[in-house]
Amino acid sequence: MRLIKFLIGSLAIISSINAAPVSDKCGKKYGKCGKGKCCSKYGWCGKSIDHCYVSKGCQSEFGICTVPKSNTTKNKSNSVKSKNNTIKNLNKTNTKNNKVTKNKKSSKTNKTNNTSNKKKASNKSVTSNVKWAGFRYSSYGVEDSFNYMPSVKSWDQYIRKMKGKFGGNTKGTVILIVGEESNTKYCRFGFPKPKHVSSSLKVKFSKTDQYEKFLKKCDEQNYQVWLQVEAGDNDLVKLANIVLDRYGHHPSVKGFGIDCEWWYRNYNSEKHGKPLSDSEAKRIVKAVRKRNKNYTVFAKHWKTSYMPPTYRDGMIFVNDSQGFHGSLDRMKKEFRKWAQAFPKNPVMFQIGYRADRSIWKKNPIGVAKTIANAASPYNKNIGIIWVDFTMKDALAKINLL
């Protein structure tokens, strides 16, 4: 029965794709859909289930997305329950602190002090494991959020604000996307073309440098930056060399990153990119550490199957899952599993997607800390990275907290 539904859905979206004009395309190359339309995972605008459901791959960055009221009775029950309890879960500690008892005044004071101490210990357990906090930075994502490119000074304030919501040892951090996917197979860099670039690479370059001033500010403020590429159909070591030739002199740069979703995007039928093998992971770490023995390499995806099966040296594992159907519990479970899968390596969680706005919109930092708390029993080196697509909205809310 599921196979039949899948085939029907596939035929429906294929027919809509075949019938749609180029003006109905969406995505990084074509931009956002018109008002009221969804952007399917295949990059077409429409209003069908196959276009709009997050579970079908709807791209929230380029159009609206919807969540089914229920896939099963169990899902419906969990969704309703989580909506009712989201704020309750985030403020659980505060609720305990605000309970009024009928004991004597001295007893009340002692109880309040004890509860306060417990609260401090709880906050410490959450924030002490958050070693990195900051933002994802892509030119297209930031501009989509702000409708302009914030100044370097503004960026400094944003990172400082995010970092300040966690422990004193938390490092202000940025995942800086210096190479963006273009036409599926190409990687387009945000800086001018170097003198020597292999003709075999599918790469493009901009006329001006977009990131030098930003990285200088990160140097001044002791922020930590990983330089990420959306690699297209390219050799990772060659891309890393291009990137580090350009920006490796900055002390704020701590390594290199790959979003596996955008590396050989059409590698298999899932069209979710190419899994990073042990041999390839080892190769890229070795190449990067030739330049700086302290550099690390992150691999990003929402599926553990796209991470190296056993290779761990010098690796950070980044989860960018989204579309939790309004359920904070589902979000916690997903990131907890990720922390369990890589207990001896740092993990980072890229959160704040539009598809999950109903979860985080009232308390972005509360959600971030809840995720860190869920992952902390399994991993002591956690990063919280807020996605750039909703930076402006999240920062506006954080200012009020």
pLDDT for the residue 80 = 34
With 0-12 / 13-18 / 19 or more C-beta atoms within 10 angstroms meaning exposed / middle / buried, residue 83 is middle
Within its chain, how far is the Cα of 107 from the centroid? 46
- Give me the number of domains the chain comprises: 1
In the chain, what's the furthest Cα-to-Cα distance? 81
Q: Determine the residue type at 335.
A: F
Q: Which residues span the domain enclosing 189?
A: 129-398
Residues forming a β-bridge with 227: 176, 256
CB neighbour list of residue 291: distance below 8 Å, 6 or more residues apart: 244, 248
Q: How many CB atoms lie within 10 A of CB 139?
A: 17
Give CA angle at 116 (112, 122), nearest 5°: 145
CATH number of the domain that 172 lies in? 3.20.20.80
- CA-CA distance, 337 to 339, in Å (whole number)? 5
In a domain, 38, yes or no: no
pTM exceeds cut of 0.75: no
pLDDT for the residue 67 = 58
pLDDT for the residue 347 = 99
pLDDT for the residue 49 = 66
In a domain, 362, yes or no: yes
In a domain, 123, yes or no: no
pLDDT for the residue 110 = 45
pLDDT for the residue 55 = 67
In a domain, 98, yes or no: no
List per-block mean pLDDT (blocks of 10 residues) for the chain, which spans 401 residues: 51 39 63 79 71 76 68 35 41 40 38 43 63 98 96 97 93 98 96 92 97 99 99 98 98 99 95 98 99 99 98 99 97 98 99 98 97 97 98 91 54
In a domain, 345, yes or no: yes
pLDDT for the residue 24 = 66
- The answer to whether the CB of 394 falls within 8 A of the CB of 141 is no
Q: How many CB atoms lie within 10 A of CB 249?
A: 10
- CA-CA distance, 385 to 373, in Å (whole number)? 15
pLDDT for the residue 126 = 61
- The answer to whether the CB of 254 falls within 8 A of the CB of 215 is no
